[in-house]
């Protein structure tokens, strides 16, 4: 049963140098057409299920003005929210206003994800961000004042000319915000980004690892649970929506380039705005075999620090987890650990876990 929804808002007031997502400069005429098309897609595809997690991402959803946000919230009232729902919206500090915060509150948003990315002006400029840390502090305080206690901030590290001391200062600043969730990402120079076009390269892998280790040790020592490769949360504040992905559960994706997983089908929406407005929503439809589904379950499940529960896996897929692929061999080599009913990536191997996950691809 599909119980989660992702909605993509592709508009931004500026384009960050590292961003490879589908996005456009904010344009009022485009937003109106887009929201109309989004409403049609949702009404066409949504089957009336109870929705446990709802996530509005982008792009920059907070780049929409008040009337556009009101229109968006009117569209999504079609979803039947579970009593214990999680409703996240992504925001940037520079276009988050008191009026928008109140609107979020009035429309059942109960989780905010803020694009902080860095706290040092030099690195904010490198990433193409349009805020400073003082503004972040101001907006986080405002969110808390109006009752938002489930707040995530994103941190990007492994930037050009960045040192361990720079990362340490970022962590000190972020910890001073006392937010419930922190997502951390090593900078990847991806195709179709400003950094790629400029010919930038990723930093030395050894330094990248030292930064990852510093982040992990620092956040854990301050009470954050490292529950997924890139994510840390205070107890009880793990992202329910992202856990849907990592648990290989079903979800809808609405809007440009959004992905869905329903039944045994993965759907990727078009990233062509003209096609989308004409109702040609899908770019790719992939019918998954039983082996495909198991492969996704392993690749996604092993991203979680606790890994995959053997009993739950058997109940869902009717196959013993350690009978698949070369899992027994990986356990013997201590790349995977079998303990307390779970199989998980050895903690000292998490940084290079892609070298382990490759074992479950293409067989």
User: What angle do helix axes 98-106 and 133-145 make, rounded to 10 degrees?
Assistant: 40
pTM, rounded to two decimals:
0.96
Question: What's the pLDDT score for residue 362?
Answer: 56
Cβ count within 10 A of residue 341:
10
In this prediction, residues 338-358 reach a mean pLDDT of 91
pLDDT greater at residue 192 or residue 258: 258
User: What angle do helix axes 310-317 and 290-301 make, rounded to 10 degrees?
Assistant: 160
Question: What's the pLDDT score for residue 269?
Answer: 98
Tell me the per-residue pLDDT of 203-245, one tens digit each, with 9 for 90 and over: 999 999 999 999 999 999 999 999 999 999 999 999 999 999 9
Tell me the per-residue pLDDT of 275-300, one tens digit each, with 9 for 90 and over: 999 999 999 999 999 999 999 999 99
The pLDDT confidence band at residue 120, using thresholds 50, 70 and 90, is very high
- Asked if residue 312 has pLDDT above 80, the reply is yes
Q: What is the DSSP string of 5-46?
A: EEEEE-EESS--TT--S--EE--HHHHHHHHHHHHHHHHHH-
Which domains, ranges and CATH numbers included, belong to the chain? 4-245 (3.20.20.70), 308-363 (no CATH)
- Asked if residue 127 has pLDDT above 60, the reply is yes
The pLDDT confidence band at residue 360, using thresholds 50, 70 and 90, is confident
- Asked if residue 363 has pLDDT above 70, the reply is no
- Asked if residue 193 has pLDDT above 70, the reply is yes
Tell me the per-residue pLDDT of 141-182, one tens digit each, with 9 for 90 and over: 999 999 999 999 999 999 999 999 999 999 999 999 999 999
Question: For all residues of the chain together, what is the average pLDDT?
Answer: 95
Cβ count within 10 A of residue 172:
11
Residue from 193, 64, 204, 179 nearest 127 by CA: 193
Residue 64 vs residues 35, 42, 116, 231: alpha-carbon distances, Å:
11, 19, 19, 27
pLDDT greater at residue 22 or residue 302: 302
């Amino acid at each position: 049963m599909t119980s989660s929804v992702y909605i993509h808002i592709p508009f931004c007031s500026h384009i960050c140098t590292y961003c490879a997502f589908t996005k456009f400069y904010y344009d009022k005429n485009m937003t109106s057409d887009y929201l109309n098309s989004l409403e049609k897609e949702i009404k066409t595809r949504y089957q009336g299920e109870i929705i446990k997690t709802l996530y509005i991402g982008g792009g920059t959803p907070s780049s929409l003005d008040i009337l556009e946000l009101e229109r968006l919230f009117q569209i999504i009232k079609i979803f039947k929210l579970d009593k214990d729902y999680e409703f996240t919206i992504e925001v940037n500090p520079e276009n988050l206003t008191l009026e928008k915060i109140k609107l979020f509150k009035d429309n059942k948003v109960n989780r905010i994800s803020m694009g902080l990315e860095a706290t040092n002006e030099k690195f904010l400029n490198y990433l193409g961000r349009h805020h400073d840390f003082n503004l972040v502090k101001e907006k986080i305080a405002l969110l808390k004042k109006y009752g938002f206690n489930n707040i995530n901030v994103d941190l990007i590290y492994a930037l050009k000319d960045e040192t361990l001391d720079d990362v340490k200062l970022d962590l000190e600043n972020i910890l001073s915000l006392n937010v419930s969730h922190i997502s951390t990402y090593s900078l990847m120079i991806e195709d179709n980004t400003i950094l790629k076009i400029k010919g930038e390269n990723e930093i030395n892998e050894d330094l990248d690892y030292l930064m990852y280790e510093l982040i992990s040790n620092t956040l854990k020592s301050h009470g954050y649970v490292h529950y997924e490769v890139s994510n840390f949360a205070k107890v009880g504040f793990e992202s329910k929506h992202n856990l849907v992905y990592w648990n290989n559960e079903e979800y809808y994706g609405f809007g440009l380039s959004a992905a869905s997983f329903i039944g045994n089908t993965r759907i990727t929406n078009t990233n062509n705005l003209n096609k989308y407005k004409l109702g040609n929503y899908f770019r790719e439809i992939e019918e998954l075999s039983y082996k495909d589904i198991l492969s996704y379950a392993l690749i996604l499940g092993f991203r979680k620090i606790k890994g995959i529960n053997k009993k739950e896996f058997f109940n869902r897929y009717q196959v013993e987890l350690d009978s698949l692929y070369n899992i027994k061999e990986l356990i013997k080599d201590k790349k995977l650990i079998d303990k307390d009913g779970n199989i998980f990536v050895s903690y000292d191997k998490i940084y290079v876990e892609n070298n382990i996950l490759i074992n479950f691809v293409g067989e």
